[in-house]
């Protein structure tokens, strides 16, 4: 039986933890709102850029050239696969990071079973720490980006992948991240960014006048556009992951706060029991003392 | 009065959305102006300044660090990496000038284009 003092100390510490977790939950819910807002605003950009790619693709198909750009050429058996994955910079968010890491490991095994070489590019401290600990080599790592998504930084990170892809150093680029579904649900998302799936491009006939291009070269324009599109996908994945991270943390912290409250309750009961027991023993001692003096 | 719709979008949000009389854009192969009823056009944009003649009169200046423009008969959409709204009908926002300068200097394009644009920003600053 723990002493009264011990129990009291324990109650105090659990209460303190409860306060921290409650505060963390509130912080995460505020940050989640901001991340959601960010995601919503960037959606306009996605819509515009897909419209533009569609239109240029249509223009190319009209000119009876096929999309034989490196960006669109899919390789049957990719020799080198780049896996870009996003984890959080901080923990205390339930299974958020471990889910992503699990998926990355699974994909890595799958590709390696097919005979491809897998190169990892990590974003976020937690993922980097995991693979370092397990002595798995990473090609590229960056932290500080997943907790504060920045378009320029995201673009320069993914541009390295694109450059490697275009020069033939890799044949496939996949982005893995834990995405936001709603406040309480996250979902692992795997985007195959390169090669670009040409069948996704849905060009519709435009009624306007003939499209003029400047510089007058479909390929350069399309190439630059596709590159920008991929940069955007990367950026969006970061925002999505951030929102999911905060969602996960909110949930984890909510559970932690509830657990702390439950623990305080049961500890208080134990404390009262121990206190009563002590009083009873003391009383018995006094009474028996008085009895013996008679 | 003939007007068209102009939208300037960045990955972080919509910078400008409104009806305009004319817009001057920093194209990769030189600056060009667009009036309503322009033929369809897609062009690469360099870092520089977009000058907008608002439908209600007045001028708006937006600094960008490169991107694309898609021109339709009655709609112009600019897709850019980063943009700073320097001035609108209510006047020049002084603190935005510095921000714009920084954005332009960081842009990864030709120095000439940046120098021109920064020069323009400086001259707006002086005319304050």
Q: Which domains does chain A have, with CATH numbers?
A: 4-25+256-293 (1.10.287.80), 36-251 (3.40.1380.10)
User: What integer is the mean pLDDT of A37-50?
Assistant: 83
Kindly identify which residue of chain B lies nearest to residue A50, measuring between CA atoms: B79
Is residue A229 within 8 Å of residue A53, measured between CB atoms? yes
Q: Any idea which of A189-193, A217-221, A224-228 has the lowest mean pLDDT?
A: A217-221
Q: How far is CA A199 from the centre of its chain?
A: 28
User: What integer is the mean pLDDT of A107-136?
Assistant: 90
DSSP-assigned letters across all residues of chain A: ---HHHHHHHHHHHHHHHHHHHHHHHHHHHHHHHHHHHHHHHHHHHHHHHHHHHHHHHHHHHTT-----GGG---SS-SEEEEEEE--SS--STTHHHHHHHHHHHHHHHHHHTT-EEEEEEESHHHHHHHHHTT---SEEE-STTTS--HHHHHHHHHHHHHHHHTTS-SEEEEEEEEEEETTEEEEEEEEEES--GGG-------SSPPEEESS-HHHHHHHHHHHHHHHHHHHHHHHHHHHHHHHHHHHHHHHHHHHHHHHHHHHHHHHHHHHHHHHHHHHHHHHHHHHH-
User: Between chains, do B44 and A228 touch, taking CB under 8 Å as contact?
Assistant: no
A vs B, Cβ pairs < 8 A, gives 80
Q: Which of B40, B44, B82 lies at the smallest CB-CB distance from A224?
A: B44
State yes or no: pLDDT of A17 exceeds 90: yes
Kindly identify which residue of chain B lies nearest to residue A151, measuring between CA atoms: B11
Which pLDDT does position A129 carry in this prediction? 92
Which pLDDT does position A203 carry in this prediction? 57
Which of the two residues, A104 and A198, has the higher pLDDT score? A104
User: What integer is the mean pLDDT of A115-140?
Assistant: 89
Optimal mutation site among A41, A44, A63, A240, interface B, most CBs of chain B within 10 A: A44
Min Cα distance B128 → chain A (Å) is 31
- Give Cα separations from B85 to A28, A141, B42, B101 (angstroms): 31, 34, 23, 12
State yes or no: pLDDT of A160 exceeds 60: yes
pLDDT tens column, A19-34: 999 999 999 999 999 9
The confidence band for A86, taking pLDDT boundaries of 50, 70 and 90, is very high
Which pLDDT does position A208 carry in this prediction? 53
Q: Which of B10, B39, B67 lies at the smallest CB-CB distance from A212?
A: B39
The mean pLDDT of chain A is: 85
**Predicted complex: ipTM over 0.85:** no
Which of the two residues, B114 and A92, has the higher pLDDT score? A92
The mean pLDDT of chain B is: 81
Domains of chain B, start order: 4-126 (2.60.15.10)
B123: part of which helix (H) or strand (E)?
Answer: helix B111-126
Which pLDDT does position A289 carry in this prediction? 93
Is residue B70 within 8 Å of residue B34, measured between CB atoms? no
Min Cα distance A14 → chain B (Å) is 41
User: Between chains, do B9 and A151 touch, taking CB under 8 Å as contact?
Assistant: no
Task: Give the A window 48-67 contacts with B, CB below 8 Å.
Answer: 48-49, 51-52, 55-56
pLDDT tens column, A226-258: 888 888 888 889 998 999 999 999 999 999 999
Residue that has been written with the tokens 């709204």 in this structure: B85
The confidence band for A283, taking pLDDT boundaries of 50, 70 and 90, is very high
Is residue A89 within 8 Å of residue A126, measured between CB atoms? yes
Min Cα distance B29 → chain A (Å) is 7
pLDDT tens column, B29-60: 888 999 998 888 888 888 888 989 888 878 88
Which pLDDT does position A209 carry in this prediction? 55
Which pLDDT does position B25 carry in this prediction? 92
Spell out which chain B residues touch chain A, with contact meaning CB-CB distance below 8 angstroms: 7, 9-14, 27-29, 39-44, 67-68, 70, 72-73, 77, 79, 81-82, 106
Q: Which residues of A touch B81 (CB under 8 A)?
A: 151-152, 155, 228
Burial label, B17 (beta-carbon count in 10 A; 0-12, 13-18, 19+): exposed
Which pLDDT does position A222 carry in this prediction? 74
State yes or no: pLDDT of B22 exceeds 70: yes
Q: Which residues of A touch B72 (CB under 8 A)?
A: 208
User: What integer is the mean pLDDT of A133-162?
Assistant: 86
Q: Which residues of A touch B41 (CB under 8 A)?
A: 211-214
Which pLDDT does position B85 carry in this prediction? 83
Which pLDDT does position A224 carry in this prediction? 79
């Amino acid at each position: 039986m723990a002493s009264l003092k011990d129990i009291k100390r324990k109650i105090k510490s659990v209460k303190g933890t409860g306060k921290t977790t409650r505060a963390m939950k509130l912080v995460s819910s505020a940050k989640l709102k901001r991340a959601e807002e960010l995601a919503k605003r960037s959606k306009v950009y996605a819509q515009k850029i897909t419209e533009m790619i569609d239109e240029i693709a249509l223009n190319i198909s009209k000119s009876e050239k096929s999309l034989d750009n490196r960006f669109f050429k899919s390789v049957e058996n990719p020799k080198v696969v780049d896996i870009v994955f996003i984890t959080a910079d901080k923990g205390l968010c339930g299974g958020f990071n471990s889910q992503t890491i699990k998926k990355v490991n699974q994909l890595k095994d799958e590709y390696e079973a097919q005979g491809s070489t897998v190169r990892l590019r990590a974003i976020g401290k937690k993922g980097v720490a995991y693979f370092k600990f397990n002595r798995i080599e990473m090609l590229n790592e960056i932290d500080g980006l997943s907790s504060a998504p920045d378009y320029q930084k995201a673009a320069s990170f993914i541009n390295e992948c694109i450059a490697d892809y275009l020069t033939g150093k890799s044949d496939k680029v996949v982005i893995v991240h834990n995405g936001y579904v709603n406040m309480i649900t996250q979902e692992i998302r795997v985007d195959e960014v390169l090669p670009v799936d040409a069948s996704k491009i849905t060009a519709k006939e435009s009624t306007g006048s003939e499209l003029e291009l400047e510089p007058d070269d479909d390929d350069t324009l399309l190439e630059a556009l596709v590159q920008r599109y991929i940069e955007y996908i990367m950026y969006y994945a970061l925002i999505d992951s951030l929102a999911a991270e905060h969602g996960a943390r909110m949930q984890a912290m909510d559970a932690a706060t509830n657990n702390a409250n439950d623990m305080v309750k049961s500890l208080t009961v134990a404390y009262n029991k121990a206190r009563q027991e002590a009083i009873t023993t003391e009383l018995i001692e006094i009474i028996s003392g008085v009895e013996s003096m008679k | 009065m003939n007007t068209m719709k102009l939208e300037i979008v960045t990955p972080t949000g919509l910078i400008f959305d409104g009806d305009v009389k004319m817009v001057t854009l920093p194209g990769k192969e030189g600056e060009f102006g667009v009036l309503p009823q322009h033929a369809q056009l897609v062009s690469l944009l360099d870092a520089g300044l977009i000058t907008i003649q608002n439908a209600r009169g007045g001028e708006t200046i937006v600094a960008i660090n490169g991107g694309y423009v898609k021109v339709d008969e009655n709609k112009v959409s600019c897709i850019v990496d980063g943009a700073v709204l320097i001035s609108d009908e209510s006047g020049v926002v002084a603190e935005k000038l510095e921000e714009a300068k920084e954005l332009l200097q960081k842009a990864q394009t030709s120095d000439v284009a940046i120098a021109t644009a920064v020069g323009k920003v400086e001259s707006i600053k002086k005319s304050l």
